[in-house]
Structure 1
Amino acid sequence: MPLSFDIATVPFSRYGSFLTISYLKAAGSRPAGIYLRTVRGGDLTAGAAFRIELLEKQIPVAYQVQATPTHLRLESAGGSVDLCICNATTVRWKTDGVGLRLTLEGGDYDYAMQLADDRWEVNSFLNEVRFMAKCLQGALSVDAPWNRTRCTHVALQFEPDESGCAEFTIEEYRTVWQEFPLSTTFEQDVEQVAAEFQHWLAGTLQAGNCASSKGRELAAYITWSCIVPKGGYLTRPAMYMSKNWMTNIWSWDHCFNAMALIQSNPELAWDQFMIFFDRQDESGLLPDFMNDKYALWNCNKPPIHGWTLLWMMERSNWIGERQLLEVYEPLARWTRWWFNYRDDDRDGVPQYNHGNDSGWDNSTIFQERGAVESPDLCAYLVLQCEALMRIAERIGRPHDGTAWRNLGERTLALMLEHFWHNGEMRALRSGSHEPLGGDSLIVYLPIIVADRLPADVKEWLVTGLADSCKFLAPHGFATESLSSAAYEPDGYWRGPIWAPVMMLLVDGLVRAGERDLAQTAAERFCRMAEQSGMAENFNARTGEGLRDRAFTWTSSVYLMLVHEYVTSASSAS
């Protein structure tokens, strides 16, 4: 049985395309329904394009949606519409027994213009693109009332011919439309897209008998379909976090997607890893997020890039001297940025100015205003220094290597001196160094440098992670202690389980020699993701998927954990 999914939670799209079809809730004047969308412009601007309606005798009728990775069917009592996204910019449609209407409205200066008997151009200012509607079979009529400077709406209506069928394409473009005559049938296009997805699926990480699991196939589809092409602000093909509404890439999310690709698709993995360094500020800062239109610089994300690079180098010989020369200076500038620009009290311990800078936006360590010194940041920088030391040695810069080793050792010593007091780790207020409240999992992330820690520190970290009354929830690691007064089931970083944290902690536990605990946590997370979907985060107690349920970093982490730590016998198929 091919994978099927609900487009109310998982959009229908394909590799290399900004086009997607998904269900949108009612918002303002927009009615609820199934929409053909473009995700250009990021999550602040990308929105609905055409609302999709099936027609019987010119009247809209209810329909059901059947979605697979390569084919979408809309079916009513009187007929059906089949469609596929046959290339990066084109949706191909075929109706049987019903008509179809696509309605665009809401954008200033939108208009429609007939260019030929079978062809209309629709200019969507809101989405900053144009669409070409071309009728291949049946009839196309357009309702586009003009009001001063725009069409109040544009409704494209396709009706079947005497055989009961209609066929047409909708193409997205920015400037000039170029016609490419169709040389294939609809069915051949579906077969070609299916072959492309199967090729991706065959290269997706797998684990023994789990190779045919629905979880693996769903994760593969989400990662495949969320790739958008380079262009505009994007210097390389980019795996968006989702094609629901998180239609950007963030500067730590991209690391997990790169990790999941490094063994099967190393060039694309390297593109994911390097894309933020292509837009690096001269100070060394990386933007918080990017899309095809712009980047946001108001905050940033934690420096997990050294940890990521070391992880990938351990698993792939593809990363050679050319790649190391490419990344060395950008990674060095990113590392120095933290010491140069995020250490206001000049104590050698960098800080987070806002929760968003840590990736843990509203964690309880950020519940009061002010800069925070947190042990996880030091741990990341220790590994970043190690990565730079190894690279420097491989590219013939031994003096640089010594300097990075010394900085890493000094940062580790300061981390222990600074945060380890009275038998526990605590985050501190920068400047005053007063301990901060809450019982957040973030202070346990130094487990990623477990092989460098004193025995008592490592024991405290492992004991807390293993405690089912604190962090080891039924489905993985809760981000706020289950016994904390600040715990919230859907509190974002105050309780729910997050995939990136699972990956960091499982990897750290393995390095600490705690493979059984790492495997237990990994198995719990993977079973939950198989049952609840690849959500942005999860209720720690119930396993319910929260917020966006088609997230790529969750898919990537699921695939890595299943591949490395979950046995085929323990994973649900």
Structure 2
Amino acid sequence: METLRASTLNGTTGSWTTTPGFTEVESGLRAAATRVLDENWLGSSTVPSRGLYPHQWSWDSAFISFGLRHHAPERARLELLTLFSAQWPDGRVPHIVFNPDTPDEAYFPGPGFWHTGATSGLVQPPIHARAVWEVHQAAEDQSSAAEFLATLYPKLVAWHAYLLGNRDFGGRGLVSIVHPWESGMDNSPAWDGPLAHVRPVDPAQFIRRDLEHGDAADRPSDVDYGRYVRLAAGYRDVGYRDERWPLFGDGFTVEDPAFNALLADAELALGRIAGALGLPGAAAGHRETAARLTQALVETLWDDEAGFFFARDVRTGERAREYTCGGLIPLVLPGLPVAPALLATATGPRFGVGRVLGAPSYDLTAPGFDAARYWRGPSWFNVGWLVRLGLLAHGERALAERLRSDLLEAAWRADFAEYTDPLTGEGHGSRSFGWTAALTLDLLAESR
């Protein structure tokens, strides 16, 4: 397959272009991506990777379902149904659903840490409603598709109600995350400030399983990981009761632009689902909620001078003035009033979208930019996929096609790596990564 590569990537001008052999390359890439998803399938859900991530992760499953709908639609539905079968009575969708056939010691923190039985107690970004809608749209059997929507709609409503009702710690209509893991962008520099007051747990008190599957230089430091453990244990010890969390001395309470933008986008998807189910009043309500979230996002987290969305530490009221990829995700919102300025930042020197590979996770011009370290520089396939949705939402079709080409190139060259160097395309982290393969299939489906 090496000889079938359709382009040359040099970090600034590479793109996946139509050349002799392109169809063969595309066919080979589709087959390879399908193979990854088949190998990572457990029977009712998909693991992100067989080594480092041996369980079901919440937003991974949502992204994976976008690709599965083109390959195995019934598995895409089961993926999401399995995840929501683990939904808590309060409506939260846990960020990990543990595989009972996997030994507890295979992953830390495993089920024994959380004291909840089969899941963790944290959450991840709410992209699920969009996933449910897109999986429904792909179904050939409309009767089963309608049943799928009818089953998951009330669960999605409860999920969003939990977030909007329990997590508005700042009182501005935005949802707060209580742990960096809830952002999905664990090691982002945006969390450095809000984490600074958190006392790290001594590394001798836990075993980092992630270092058994990746280079320590690419992963979070022991100090940061110790802070993550402190926060997870603290949230566990208050019984996962959100009303008690602001009283926890070592707490972390942050309004994340990516999380809130994805919730607003998910409300728009819920509006489409409600419409399909013959619930026009509910559909209008979801659209109104999306509009309120978008307004709150702009009023609270947008910096007009910087042309960017910054996370906000609710405890101090201060914005974390770090240019991270989370601030680009609001582009997915079609009615975003500040989209032109945000597009200028995305394509400017800080992120170089369209000139480097994918969408870097951190400011290319920052002294702390590291092209290989977890969420501190590398490009992630799901972020690039979301940014591309944002480009399409705001009419940037040529740039969106360029980003699509670069994402396919990255998947091909790096063996569906977890993340890649945005300057060279070198892969890092796990290979045969679930959402990289799945979103590759989703992008390739546009060629058919």
Class of the TM-score when normalised by the shorter of the 2 chains: 0.7 to 0.9
Structure 2 residue aligned with 1:513, among 395, 420, 423? 395
- Per the alignment, do residues 398 and 261 of structure 1 end up closer, same or farther by CA in structure 2, a change over 3 Å counting? same
8 Å contact from structure 1 (residues 479, 497) kept in 2: yes
Q: 2:257 — aligned with what?
A: 375
Amino acid at match of 2:189: T
Q: Kindly report structure 1 stretches of 4+ aligned residues shifted beyond 6 Å.
A: none
Structure 1 residues 323, 346: CA separation in 2 closer, same or farther (over 3 Å shift)?
Answer: same
Which residue of structure 2 aligns with residue 47 of structure 1? none
Query: Equivalent of 1:323, from 132, 148, 153?
Result: 148
Partner residue of 2:34? 220
1:453 aligns with 2:336: yes
Q: 1:325-474 alignment to 2 at 5 Å?
A: 325-368=150-193, 369=195, 370-423=252-305, 424=307, 425-449=309-333, 451-454=334-337, 457-472=338-353, 474=356
Is 2:114 the counterpart of 1:279? no
Question: Residue 355 of structure 1: CA displacement?
Answer: 1.3
TM-score calculated relative to the size of structure 1 = 0.58
In 1, are the aligned partners of 2:377 and 2:421 still within 8 Å (CA)?
yes
Give the SS at the match of 1:428. Answer: strand
Tell me which residue corresponds to 1:22: none
Matched, 1:308 2:98: no
Q: In the alignment, residue 218 of structure 1 is paired with which amino acid?
A: A
Distance between the aligned counterparts of 1:555 and 1:540, measured in 2? 18
Unmatched tracts of structure 1, length 5 or more: 3-206, 230-236, 568-573
1:313 positional shift: 4.4
Of residues 408, 427, 437, the one that matches 1:545 is 427
Indicate the RMSD between aligned Cα atoms, in angstroms: 2.5
Structure 1 residue aligned with 2:242: none
Greater RCO (Cα-Cα under 8 Å, separation 6 or more): 2
Aligned residues: 353
Question: In the alignment, which of 268, 290, 293 is matched to residue 75 of structure 2?
Answer: 268
Is 1:554 matched with 2:436?
yes
- CA distance in 2 between counterparts of 1:505 and 1:212 reads 22
1:499 aligned residue: 381
**Residues 378 and 411 in structure 1, CA contact (< 8 A), matched pair in contact too:** yes
In the alignment, the residues of structure 2 paired with residue 240 and residue 307 of structure 1 have an alpha-carbon distance, to the nearest angstrom, of 20
- CA shift for structure 1 position 239: 1.5
Higher helix share: 2
Contact persistence 2:67–2:440 (CA under 8 A): no
Check 1:220–1:263 CA distance in 2 against 1; reply closer, same or farther (3 A cut).
closer
Match of 2:115 in 1: none
Distance 2:391 2:380 in 1: 17
Partner residue in 2 for 1:8: none
Deviation of 1:208 (Å):
7.5
Separation in 1 of the partners of 2:304 and 2:40? Answer: 47
Partners of 1:387 and 1:317 lie apart in 2 by: 20
How far apart are 1:389 and its partner, in Å?
2.3
The verdict on how the C-alpha distance between 1:448 and 1:417 changes in structure 2, with shifts beyond 3 A counting, is same
Q: Structure 1 residues 443 and 282, CA, compared in 2 at 3 Å: closer, same or farther?
A: same
Query: What is the alpha-carbon distance in structure 1 between the residues aligned to residue 170 and residue 277 of structure 2?
Result: 35
For residue 320 of structure 2, give the secondary structure of its aligned residue in structure 1: coil
Shift of 1:411: 1.4
Matched letter for residue 527 of structure 1: E
Alignment of 1:86-101 (within 5 A): none
Q: Once the 2 structures are TM-superposed, how far is the Cα of residue 400 of structure 1 from its aligned partner?
A: 2.6
- The residue type equivalent to 1:250 in the other structure is W
Aligned to 1:56: none
Contact 1:305 1:384 in 2 (8 A): yes
List runs of 5+ in structure 2 lacking aligned partners.
3-20, 101-110, 112-117, 196-251
Instruction: Determine the structure 2 residue equivalent to 1:482.
Output: 364
Measured in 1, the distance between the counterparts of 2:255 and 2:416 equals: 32
**Alpha-carbon deviation of 1:330?**
0.6
Q: 1:402: Cα distance to partner?
A: 3.2
Equivalent in the alignment of 2:57: 250
Q: Find the aligned partners of 2:439 and 2:275 in 1 and give their Cα distance.
A: 30
- Superposition pairs for residues 136-155 of structure 1, below 5 Å? none
Q: List per-residue Cα deviations over 1:472-503 (Å, max 9, x = no partner).
A: 35321110011112211222111111111111
SS at match of 2:176: coil
Q: Encode CA deviations 1:414-454: one digit per residue, 9 max, x unaligned.
A: 112112233422221115432113211111100101x2122
Q: TM-score, normalised by structure 2?
A: 0.73
| Deviation sequence 1:306-346 (CA, Å, 0-9, x none) | 23234444544646321111011110111011112211232
Structure 2 residue identity aligned to 1:305:
H
Is the CA contact (8 Å cut-off) linking 1:385 and 1:404 kept in structure 2? yes
Question: Structure 1 residues 266, 390: CA separation in 2 closer, same or farther (over 3 Å shift)?
Answer: same
Rounded Cα–Cα distance in structure 2 between residues aligned with 1:208 and 1:255: 29
